[in-house]
């Protein structure tokens, strides 16, 4: 019998590539800075089960793109999908990819759309702070100052949508986080354990692969 689990694992395996200090990603900057620091200092291959979670997210994003492109949804126009960008901040690079740029025909506005998959959409009451930070930086990078975060339920395809207005002050705070991360990495300074100190981020510790190191404050 064909082992489809094995086939899927092989298909989604991307091979191991360590991240380079000096190149950073908006999708990470809302996470605990200590965890991000560890991921550069002690890189390891992503577990197959986590790769599958990412792949489901990719599949749902592709579905939303098809919805936005459809002739049956004339109230919106997909201008571009998966928009890459690079920004130099001082002596390092921030690189990312915006999910979608959509024109809402009724209002004539261009809107950046960031799609996130979710297991239980009914539990989503507000957008996650890390997702808002990610979209804020995208709006800063692309120069489109209207944004939407779209949560898509993995089981039902139901959605919840949150509007995010561009805030220059918040984008500057995010840039400062990149600067702090870069300084701590280049000077080998262990960042504070943000997730332990912020009640909104505490859940991250339960899923952190560096928890043991962090608990011992190990570099």
Whole-structure pTM value: 0.92
Res. 200: pLDDT tops 90 = no
Residue 3 placed within a domain: no
41 belongs to a structural domain: yes
pLDDT tens, residue by residue, 91-141: 999 999 999 999 999 899 999 999 999 999 999 999 999 999 999 999 999
Q: What percent of the chain has pLDDT over 70?
A: 100
Residue 98 lies in a domain: yes
Strands in the chain per DSSP E: 23-24, 76-89, 92-104, 109-118, 146-153, 159-165
Provide the strand spans (E) within 46-203: 76-89, 92-104, 109-118, 146-153, 159-165
Residue 40 within any structural domain of the chain: yes
10 inside domain: no
Residue 106 lies in a domain: yes
- What is the reported pLDDT for 48? 84
Q: CATH number for the domain including 103?
A: 3.90.320.10
Containing structural domain, residue 69:
23-215
Q: pLDDT of 140-190, one tens digit each?
A: 999 999 999 999 999 999 999 999 999 999 999 999 999 999 999 999 999
> Which residue bears the tokens 């989503």?
124
pLDDT grade for 16, boundaries at 50, 70 and 90: confident
- The answer to whether residues 47 and 13 touch, using CB atoms and an 8 Å cutoff, is no
How far is residue 95's CA from residue 211's CA, in Å, rounded to a whole number? 27
**Residue 50: predicted pLDDT:** 85
Amino acid 94: pLDDT:
97
Domain count of the fold of the chain: 1
In the predicted model, is pLDDT for residue 15 greater than 90? no
Specify if 4 maps to a domain. no
Q: Is residue 103 domain-resident?
A: yes
């Amino acid at each position: 019998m064909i082992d489809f689990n094995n086939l899927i694992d092989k298909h989604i395996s991307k091979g191991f590539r360590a991240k380079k200090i000096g190149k950073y990603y908006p999708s990470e900057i809302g996470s605990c800075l200590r965890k991000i620091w560890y991921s550069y200092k002690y890189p390891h291959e992503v577990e197959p089960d986590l790769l599958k979670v990412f792949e489901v997210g990719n599949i749902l994003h592709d579905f939303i793109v098809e919805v936005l492109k459809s002739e049956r949804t004339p109230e919106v126009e997909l201008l571009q999908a998966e928009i890459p960008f690079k920004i130099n901040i001082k002596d390092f690079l921030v690189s990312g990819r915006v999910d979608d740029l959509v024109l809402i025909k009724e209002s004539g506005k261009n809107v950046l759309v960031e799609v996130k998959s979710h297991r239980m959409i009914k539990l989503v009451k507000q957008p996650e702070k890390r997702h808002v930070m990610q979209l804020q930086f995208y709006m800063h990078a692309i120069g489109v100052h209207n944004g939407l975060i779209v949560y898509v339920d993995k089981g039902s395809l139901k959605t919840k949508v949150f509007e995010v207005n561009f805030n220059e002050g918040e984008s500057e705070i995010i840039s400062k986080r990149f600067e702090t991360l870069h300084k701590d990495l280049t000077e080998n300074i262990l960042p504070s354990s943000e997730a332990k100190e912020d009640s909104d981020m505490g859940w991250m510790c339960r899923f952190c692969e560096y928890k043991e190191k962090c608990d011992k404050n190990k570099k």
